Chain A
Amino acid sequence: MPNKRIRVPRLRGADYTYRYFHQWFIVVFMVLAITVMCLASSSFRSAYNLGNLMNTCFPLILAALGQFLVILTAGIDLSVGSMLTLGNCLSVYIMTRIPTVPGLLLALAATVVCGLVCGAVNGLFIAKFRLPAIIVTIATAAVFQGTALVLLPDPGGSIVPALKTFLKWKAFGLIPVTFFLTVLAIVLILLLTNRTPLGRALRAVGGNESAAFGSGIKVARVKFTAYVLSALLAALAGLYLSARTSSGDPNIGSSYTIYSISATVVGGTMMTGAVGQAYGTACGAVIIFLINNILNMLDVSAFYQYAIQGAVLIFALMVGSLETRRERA
């Protein structure tokens, strides 16, 4: 047999476009937007602001990545915002009462466990009991939000300074640690969705659940994992926010649910699942943030944010719906 060098197949041409067109579009759009902003506004391009951009985007990127995993399976997690709030309030609750490094570690551990447990609750009802994801996550959102309110009825509290110090560190005095964390998160999720059997299974379940089942994939387990990861990422995002704001706020997560969905859809993932990339979602998150940032800088009242973000979501959904139509034609 001739000694052929085995090369992993690469998508080309129309196949490449099918999968990556939207992703590229979003990445380029984001880069362009940032460039334009930097050129147009001196205040925008200050190092402070760019670092700020990274810091502010980070929690949204995390939350969006979690939502991305769930939407890949053709599911939905409407409890992301509340989970983030809970992660925030829980960590602050602990750190306020144990303001030392052991307290920090405990808060870390507790947040992680909380995320896992809450995600497991979602997973149990949706994957095991096969109840509709919309209603389940609306209900768990209320439960998580309520728990956060119980822990921290009013904004406040304090964190362990060590956490802040860690998160304030900058490489070369310029690049904040969140940048590296973001890259790490994107790379991990990218690896997960594109190179692991679990990732393949996530897409398969979203694409055609019965075909996935027929191929031997344990559909319930896959969905369960998606919800657990989503909650975990949201909880970590909440933890980060407690470091950033040095306090807790039971209202902090209110818009994160819809932003995470918007980021995912803008980033090229259809609600029907199976398609989409981690970096697309991350860019979508950045774009969402940029829109708010730009509006702020133009001194447009914060009220326009809601309307415009909602319109962005609807627009992205429309584009997605038309894209699928086109391909099926």
Chain B
Amino acid sequence: MMTSKNWLGFVKTRFNQYAVYLFLVLILLLAQLYSPTYLQLTHMMGVLRLASFMGMAAIGQTIAILSGGIDLSIPYTISFSYILAAQYMAKTNANIPQAILACAILALLVGVVNGAGVCLLRIPAFIMTLGVGTVVRGAYMIWTKGTPKGYTAPLINDIANRSLGPVPYIVLVWLVLGTVAMIMLKCTPYGRKIYAVGSNARAARFSGINTRAILFSVYILSAVAACITGFFLIGYTGESYLDAGSSYDTAVIAAVIIGGTSIQGGKGSYLGSAAGSIIMVVFTDFLQIIRMSAGLRQVGQGVLILLLIMMYARESKVRL
């Protein structure tokens, strides 16, 4: 039954889901206006290349937010895995397996500690992950003694920088990972349970879902996604340096919000976050094109997030 009151609600719910695509089109047009070659294929592929990294990081954040939490340790995990990958690859393809192993161990450690704090100790997710993130930062500072060494292996460098025809390899990697994430979230029982826990953890428990196990695994997945991002990021830049992941904190959250995933959890999709990642890359790019200073760019990002939550988060003021 669609009364006139429901119609507005109908638009509002649909808004969250589809607005991101509208914004994507708008911002691309806007960029095109300023820089007439923006929409050219080669340029867009470059944009997509950058968006791949943000998109991979967004996989973890999307899952964490969908489950009703948040992961603020992602930028630090990215930085550390970046350093580890560079160090263990040391310019040699044969070392890739050991680099992967190192990153996997990092992902497991970070994920387990985050999960333990949030699930077992009931510490609010944001502060737990923030604390863990700080420890991770300290850890890689100590690990590298301030001067990270290492270099990407040629294969990873190629993946991050070369293309298959017009399409960069890294975009294909993102495509695969993103598809896996989307299938996992939308098509598996596990994914359904994540949505359930994010929607109403109490009802999920009453329905027989092991909420503790779900939450624990969510933070492990988030750390894994962050490590994958760092691993390929070193391929892109080549040389190792500190704090490589620092630009992936607010921007990734913004990408997830703009993609329509609700901050309260239980609603959203990775497809939206993927589109949101592209938007954020274009947005940051755009701010540089119009020659905004670094400071103003940061202000812009902050204002963007504020506008976004005003638009997106106002709708679920539930009156039970």
Asked if A and B touch directly (CB within 8 angstroms), the answer is yes
- Please list the residues of chain A having a beta carbon within 8 angstroms of any beta carbon in chain B: 76, 125, 129-132, 134-136, 138-151, 153, 250, 258, 261, 271, 301-311, 313-314, 317-318, 321-322
Contacts of A145 in B (CB 8 A): 295, 298, 302
- Among the 9-residue stretches B133-141, B219-227, B267-275, the one with 4 or more Cβ atoms under 8 Å from chain A is B133-141
Contact between chains at A271 and B295 (CB < 8 Å): no
Given pairs A258-B131, A271-B124, A307-B135, 19 additional interface contacts (CB within 8 A) = A131-B313, A134-B70, A135-B305, A138-B305, A142-B298, A145-B295, A148-B295, A150-B295, A150-B296, A258-B134, A301-B146, A305-B138, A307-B141, A310-B132, A311-B135, A313-B127, A314-B132, A317-B128, A322-B121
Cβ B142 vs Cβ A261 within 8 A = no
Closest 10 CB pairs of A and B: A307-B138, A149-B295, A306-B138, A146-B298, A310-B134, A142-B302, A303-B141, A146-B299, A310-B135, A143-B302
Q: Does B117 contact A (CB under 8 A)?
A: yes
Given contacts A304-B138, A306-B135, A317-B121, contact A258 B302 (CB under 8 A): no
- Bound-state Cα–Cα, A323 to B234, Å: 43
- B121 neighbours in A (Cβ, 8 Å): 317-318, 321-322
The residue of chain A having its C-beta at the shortest distance from the C-beta of B135 within the complex is A310
Report Cα–Cα, A116/B97, bound state, in Å: 54
A307 with B139: CB separation less than 8 A: yes
B298-A149 in contact (CB<8A): yes
Complex A-B: 22 CB contacts under 8 Å: A125-B310, A131-B310, A135-B309, A138-B249, A139-B250, A139-B301, A139-B302, A139-B309, A142-B250, A145-B298, A145-B302, A146-B294, A146-B299, A149-B294, A150-B293, A153-B293, A250-B295, A258-B134, A303-B146, A307-B138, A307-B142, A310-B132
Partner of A143, one of B130, B146, B298, B309: B298
The listed residue with most A CB atoms (<10 A of its CB), out of B123, B145, B249, B257, is: B123
Say yes or no for B78: interface residue by CB 8 A criterion.
Answer: no
For A141, list chain B residues within 8 Å (CB). 302
Chain B: minimal CB distance from A71 (Å)? 10
In Å, the complex CA distance between A136 and B278 comes to 22
Cβ of A131: which chain B residues have Cβ within 8 Å of it?
Answer: 309-310, 313
B33 within 8 A of A: no
Would you give the shortest CB distance from B304 to chain A, in whole angstroms?
8
Select which of B113, B134, B294 is within 8 A of A309 by beta carbon: B134
Chain B residues within 8 Å of A, Cβ to Cβ: 70, 113, 117, 121-124, 126-128, 130-139, 141-142, 145-146, 249-250, 253, 257, 263-264, 293-303, 305-306, 309-310, 313-314, 317
| A69 CA to B130 CA, complexed, in Å | 20
Contact in complex: A271, B127 (CB < 8 Å): yes
CA distance A233 to B146 in the complex (A): 33
Interface residue SS majority, chain B: helix
Q: With a CB–CB cut-off of 8 A, which chain A residues contact B146?
A: 301, 303
B306 cross-chain contacts in A, Cβ below 8 A: 125, 136, 139-140, 143
B313 → A minimal CB distance (Å): 6
Residues on A with C-beta less than 8 A from B313 are: 131-132, 135
The CA of A271 and the CA of B131, in the complex, are separated in Å by 13
Q: Is the CB of B302 within 8 A of A314?
A: no
CB contact under 8 A between A138 and B250, given known A309-B138, A321-B123: yes
Q: Which residues of chain B have C-beta atoms less than 8 A from A136's C-beta? A: 306, 309
The answer to whether A304 and B142 have CB atoms under 8 Å apart is yes
Q: Kindly state the separation between the CA atoms of A258 and B310 in the bound complex, as whole angstroms.
A: 26
Contacts A76-B127, A139-B250 given; does A147 touch B295 at CB 8 Å: yes
- Answer whether A146 and B305 are a contact pair too, CB < 8 Å, given A132-B313, A317-B117: no
Contact in complex: B130, A258 (CB < 8 Å): yes
A314: nearest residue on chain B (CB-CB)? Answer: B131
Return chain A residues, CB-CB under 8 Å to B296: 146, 149-150
User: Once bound together, how far apart are the Cα atoms of A151 and B131, in whole Å?
Assistant: 30
Q: How far is the CB of B291 from chain A (nearest CB, A)?
A: 13
For B124, B127, B142, which residue has the most chain A Cβ atoms within 10 angstroms? B127
What CA separation (Å) do A321 and B123 show in the bound complex? Answer: 7
Residues of B within 8 A of A146 (CB): 294-302
Query: A151 vs B306: C-alpha distance in the bound complex, in angstroms?
Result: 22
